[in-house]
Chains A and B, each alone.
Chain A
Amino acid sequence: MQPAMELVNLYKSIGKKQIIKNLSFSIYPGEVFGFLGPNGAGKTTTIRMMVGLMKITSGDVKINGTSVKNDFKGAIQHVGAIVENPEMYPFMNGWKNLKHYARMMNGITDERIREVVSLVGLEKAMKEKVGKYSLGMRQRMGIAQALLHRPSVLILDEPTNGLDPAGIREIRQYIRRLAEQEQVAVIVSSHLLSEIELMCDRISIIKNGELVTVEEVQNSTEKDERVEVWLEVEPVDKAKAVIEKHHELEVVVHHDKLSMSVTKETIPEIVKGLVQDQVNVYEVTTKSSSLEDKFFDVIGENTIA
């Protein structure tokens, strides 16, 4: 399958400072690709190069096989994007703002504008000035603006920034729908794993302008998949004995907690066994993926994410 977007050995230097170093990855149609990294990692800079706002120092970005460098118009016509904040003309109402961008591309009817407006649920706000919109409404306007021309690649730079959990869930729903129903390749950047983990198929992690890793995301853990379980119990020693009696498991004691690696479906049995044998269970936590650990390693302990 041809990638919807491909980064090939991408570099960016500003002055003597190398901001992006040898970035390469591909994103495929119908895929939601997370672009994760701490603040200052170079996410926005990479996105600016993807959409031609910044010149590429070396390497290339290809959109459906067309180079942004050599054929900007041919490449960019398939792209919709929000770069950094979703900025609009504050003195114009929502409709006029969308109409403005619609005029810059061929064949966008009023019908189509109404369609994207209803997709992001802003019908009631169209007559209001954008300056009065909440951050969430502006994020949605940004998405509407990016979708007008039915792009095959959608780039969203920190679309969950400043949104409450309900807003994030809503955005996650549009994004999944676009990817699954319209085969759009979506790139979502964020500095918070928790905000994009649930919407992405794959997540790349970058730090200091370099790619650290690209990982598949297993969203809902399968029943027969092994997860690491931590239990806060009392008394600890009795609990360990009870578990080892019923299951063939290696149980590790950490102060007042126990940890073990089990399949998801055995968790209820373990808890049931403990309760029956009069052990107090205070907390059960699972660590699902290795992604969190990797991201934590990258971010470091003292970084405010």
Chain B
Amino acid sequence: MLNFLSLLKNEQVKLYSRFSTWSMYIILASIIILAGMITAIFGDVDTEGYGNDWRAELQAENEQLQAEMEESEFAIHENSINKNNYYLEQDIKPQPYDAWAFTSEFSMLGFMLSLFMVIIASGLIAGEFRWGTIKLLFIRPISRTKIWLSKYITIMITTLSMFVFMFLFAMILGSLLFGINGLSPSMVQLSGNEWEQVNIVKEILSQYGLILVELVIMATLAFMISSLFRNSAMAIGLTIFLMFAGASVVIYLSEYDWAKFILFANIDLQPYFGPGQPMIEGMTLTFSVIVLLTYYVVFLLASWFAFTKRDVAGH
């Protein structure tokens, strides 16, 4: 066990001794700072909030929006009016824009995170082969399986730390720019065709949960490719190509019945939880989960087998 923790420590040290890893954090931080500044300077967000007679304020606002719409056909405020009406009907006092609302906007960075994890996963094994250090790792009294596992777990640890970093960074910047209202914030958002009040923390977590499925599978795929070919450029290139092209391939092949077994027909679980359709008719959540799990296990086994059983021969 002590041994294994040392292996994890080694992986962390190697990862964070390189600028490329730090640059990922810098990119995430830059995007968040940029978005924060744009929102603060140009964004039409209300950080003041409503007073005690917020009901009257909302009504007045609606009347004004209605008037604008009648005057000009270019003014489209239906969404805002409906949202205000929802607040009035449900008797919910609208909360001002704050750090929570700001943070919830960064689920779009999930794709970025997947990209970064694919890059990291591709390098963990292939890097050792490129530097030639794999030989010095394998001649220690530690099984190859343990080394393999330490590398795989490193992907998970890094995903978690990047996620926590993003969350904390957005929260801190959001608090500085927009303030923060309470610890259990909610917001009203369109869910399908209906307005709905949701807890922001829960919303952030569930968005990330779905992103995490794709992230873990793609990172494991990259990990497998780099273990099979011992080459990170190939692992990064192939995985990112599949991330972009996978869905189109499924659509292209969707007339065939077996298309529903393709990884990329199943990797996006969003349609089962919200608006939208699964890629191929008749697919269910259970089906997709089973398909994903099967791929996942195959990827892991192939990567483990290639890493632990093959000779480390010369170039």
Contact = CB atoms under 8 A, between A and B. Distances in A.
Interface of A: 14, 44-45, 48, 51-55, 72-74, 76-77, 79, 81, 83-85, 87-92, 96, 99-101, 103-106, 145
B132 A84 contact: yes
B244 to A, nearest CB: 30
Contact of B141 (A45, A76, A81): A76
B289 interface: no
Nearest to B147: A104
Interface stretch (B3-11, B38-46, B159-167): B3-11
B139 interface: yes
A48 B131 contact: no
A90 B142 CA distance: 23
B10 A91 contact: no
Given A48-B313, A88-B133, A103-B10, 8 more contacts: A51-B135, A51-B138, A54-B312, A76-B140, A81-B139, A92-B14, A92-B17, A106-B3
Contacts of A105: 140-141
Nearest to B8: A103
Smallest CB-CB A-B distances: 8 pairs: A87-B132, A103-B6, A77-B141, A53-B312, A104-B140, A73-B141, A54-B311, A51-B139
Interface string B1-32: 00100110110011001100000000000000
B312 A101 contact: no
A53 B135 contact: yes
B143 interface: yes
A106 B142 CA distance: 11
A54 B309 CA distance: 9
B137 to A, nearest CB: 7
A79 B141 CA distance: 9
Contacts of B183: none
B17 A79 contact: no
B134 to A, nearest CB: 9
B192 to A, nearest CB: 50
A101 B314 contact: no
6 contacts: A76-B139, A76-B140, A87-B136, A91-B17, A101-B140, A103-B10
Nearest to B137: A104
Interface of B: 3, 6-7, 9-10, 13-14, 17-18, 131-133, 135-143, 311-314
Contact of A100 (B10, B132, B314): B10
Nearest to B143: A73
Centre residue among A52, A84, A90, A104 by max chain B CB count within 10 A: A104
A90 B130 CA distance: 11
Contact of B131 (A51, A77, A89): A89
Contact of A90 (B131, B137, B138, B143): B131
A56 to B, nearest CB: 10
B311 A89 contact: no
Contacts, number: 79
Given A53-B312, A54-B313, A105-B140, A84 B18 contact: no
Contacts of B18: 91
B10 A87 contact: no
B139 A79 contact: yes
Contacts of A103: 6-7, 9-10
B16 to A, nearest CB: 10
A76 B141 CA distance: 6
A290 B221 CA distance: 58
B15 to A, nearest CB: 11
A84 B134 CA distance: 12
Given A52-B139, A85-B132, A104 B314 contact: no
Centre residue among A51, A53, A84 by max chain B CB count within 10 A: A53
Nearest to A103: B6
B136 A53 contact: no
Nearest to B311: A54
Contacts of B10: 100, 103-104
A53 B139 contact: yes
Contacts of A72: 141
A79 B83 CA distance: 72
Contacts of B14: 89, 92, 100
A74 B14 CA distance: 27
Contacts of B136: 87-88, 101, 145
Contacts of A87: 131-133, 135-136
